[in-house]
Chain A
C-alpha cells in the first residue's frame, strides 16, 4: 500500500507551521492515492516534537534522535530520511519548500532514484493518475506534473496549503536507529547569524507589510515599516531591490527567489511589482499598494491603491489605525 512520509520541520522544540501545511498536502495526496501517512522527526532531543505531532492522524512517527542530526546538514539529513523511507517502505517523501526542504530533499530523491516535484501548490488528478501542480516561470504558468518513478519526492509550498488540523487518535512513536555518520564527511557547520526579530515569521503572519526601493535607505525603511508592522501585528517583508541595497535582511525578501506568502492582508509600500516580486505575494487575500505612482504593475493586482508618498501616508495610516483602538 502507498505510504507518504512527511518530514517534520521544527525549531526550539516546537513544530513549525511548515510541517502542518506539508501534512495537508500529504492528506490531499493520500485521498487520491489511497495512502497512509507517516512522519519523520529528525534532530537531537526531539521527543517533544514527536509527542506534539501524535494527534494528526499519522500511523507511525519515526524519531531519529542523534547528536549528529541536531543541525539540518543536507548530506546527513538526506541519508537518514532516505533510510527511514526505505525501512518504512514509503513511496512518497514530502517536506516543505522552505530553504531547508529545498536544500535536503533533492538529495533524498537522488538516494532513492526518485523523481521530484518542487514547490507544489496543489495535488491534482491527471489522465495519468494523481499529479502535482507547480508554478514555473515565476508563476507565469502552472504546470501539472506526474512522477513516473516508484518513489516520489515532493516539496510543498507553505502558503498554498492550510495547516492540517489535529484529528485526534494517537500515532505510534518509534525510535529510528539513525546512522548519519556515513554521510557526514567534509561538511562543517561554522555559524548561523539569525535575523533578530520579535515579529511573527513571514510564513506564519496574517498580515505582511513589505517595503521597496522607494524607501530610499535603511533608515527610511525602518522608520516607515516598523511602526506599520506594529500597527498591524504584521511580519515585515521586502522587495529584492530593498534587500540588495541593504535596507532589509536577506530573509525578508519576497518573490520568485525569496519567500512566498499569502496572508490575509499584504501592504506593498514603495514597491513597483516586478513579476518576480508578484510571484511571492499575488495570492494574498487583500493587497494594498502605497506608491507615489498609480501606473506600476503592482496596481494591476492591488485591491486598494493609494497614490501617496509613503513617508507621509504611512505615518498617517499608523496614527489613524491607533486612534481606532
Chain B
C-alpha cells in the first residue's frame, strides 16, 4: 500500500498579522509552522504504515523552497519514507490550483490513500481534500477522527454536526484529518539525521503537465475585524444578574 500525505506550512497562529497599504497582509518576520491538521495526517500515515505490511509513505508540499524544510522536518524526520516538493508561488494559487497539482502527483504516484488536513489554518478554506477527491472521481471521508484499514476499505469515523458518522470507503480514496485523529509524535534525533538523506523529488507544475493554474478566487481586499473592547468586572453573582437584566437586557 502507498499513502500520500500533505505537508503544508502556515503562518504561526499566534503571529500578529498587519495589513499594509496595498491592502494585503505583511509577512515580514512572521514565523511559520507546519499546518496542525497536516501533522495529524502525517501521524495517521505513520500509524497506518506501522500497523500494515509493506506500506510506503510519501509526503508532498507545494510552495516556495522554504517548504522543503517543512517536508523534511515535519514529515521525513518523523518517519515518512520520502518527499515530493512542487515548486510554486503559493500566494498565486487557490484551493482549486492546489487540488490540480495534487491530482497530477496522484496520477504519477498512484497511492491507495491520500491523507490531507481538513483545513489550512491560514486560509481556513476546507476545500482541497474534497476538490481532489472529485477531480479523481474517488470517495472521500472528511474530518476524520479515526481511520483503520480493513481489506480494501478505509473505515473512517467523522466529526460532524450532531455526532459521529462512520463511513467505509473503498481505496483508492481521500481522507482529511481532524485534530482528534491522533497526537502527533515528535521527530527523534535519529529521525532528523535520517531525514537529511531521504529522497526528495522536485517538480514544477510544467513537469506535471498541468495546463491551467489561474486562480478562480481572488482576494481583492483585507480588513481587520472590528475589535471588541473589554467590558466590566462584576463583583459577584448578584451584580452579574443585575447587569444582565437591566443593562444587557438578556434575561
Contact = CB atoms under 8 A, between A and B. Distances in A.
Contacts of B124: 118-119, 134-138, 256
Contacts of B165: 189, 191-193
Contact of A303 (B96, B128, B159, B232): B232
Best-surrounded residue of B122, B169, B240 (most CB of chain A within 10 A): B240
B248 A286 contact: yes
Interface stretch (B54-62, B72-80, B84-92, B137-145): B137-145
A128 to B, nearest CB: 6
B244 A265 contact: yes
A141 B248 contact: no
Interface stretch (A50-58, A143-151, A166-174): A143-151
Given A135-B225, A251-B160, A265-B250, A145 B217 contact: yes
A169 to B, nearest CB: 31
B192 interface: no
A142 to B, nearest CB: 5
A257 B181 CA distance: 13
A302 B240 CA distance: 12
Best-surrounded residue of B118, B161, B167, B179 (most CB of chain A within 10 A): B161
B166 interface: yes
Interface in B215-251: 215-225, 228-234, 236-238, 240-241, 243-245, 248, 250-251
Nearest to A74: B140
A187 B169 CA distance: 5
Interface in A16-44: none
Contacts of B216: 114-116, 147-149
Contacts of A282: 228
B104 to A, nearest CB: 14
Contacts of B236: 306, 308
Interface stretch (B10-18, B42-50, B106-114, B200-208): B10-18
B180 A250 contact: yes
Interface in A276-325: 276, 282, 285-288, 294, 299-308, 313, 316-317, 320-321, 324
Given A99-B160, A288-B240, A294 B14 contact: no
Contact of B131 (A107, A147, A304): A107
A243 interface: yes
B196 to A, nearest CB: 32
Nearest to B124: A136
B166 A190 contact: yes
Size category of the binding interface on chain B: 35 or more
A302 B231 contact: yes
Interface in B150-194: 153, 155, 158-170, 173, 178-180
Given A117-B217, A192-B163, A317 B230 contact: no
Contact of A193 (B155, B164, B173): B164
A244 interface: yes
B99 interface: yes
Q: Is the interface of B mostly helix, strand, loop or mixed?
A: mixed
Contact of A139 (B129, B133, B225): B225
Contacts of B229: 300-301
B25 interface: yes
A187 B126 CA distance: 21
A211 interface: no
B68 interface: no
Contacts of B119: 257
B167 A189 contact: yes
B6 interface: no
Nearest to A135: B124
A106 B131 contact: yes
A100 B142 CA distance: 10
Contact of A190 (B159, B168, B178): B168
Contact of A195 (B162, B167, B169, B250): B162
Contact of B13 (A138, A141, A190, A232): A138
Best-surrounded residue of A114, A294, A304 (most CB of chain B within 10 A): A304
A126 interface: yes
B130 to A, nearest CB: 4
Contacts of A118: 124-127
B210 interface: no
Nearest to B232: A304
A257 B127 contact: no
Interface string A184-199: 0111111111110000
B135 interface: yes
Nearest to B122: A137
Interface of A: 73-75, 78, 98-100, 102-107, 109-111, 114-119, 126-128, 131, 133-149, 185-195, 201, 203, 207, 232, 240, 243-244, 249-251, 256-257, 259, 264-265, 275-276, 282, 285-288, 294, 299-308, 313, 316-317, 320-321, 324
Given A192-B162, A193-B165, 7 more contacts: A107-B130, A135-B225, A146-B220, A192-B165, A240-B179, A304-B233, A304-B244
| 3 nearest CB pairs, A to B | A115-B216, A186-B170, A106-B130
23 contacts: A75-B133, A99-B160, A106-B134, A136-B124, A137-B122, A142-B224, A144-B219, A147-B218, A149-B216, A188-B168, A188-B169, A189-B167, A191-B166, A192-B163, A192-B164, A244-B180, A251-B162, A256-B124, A282-B228, A300-B228, A304-B234, A304-B248, A305-B231
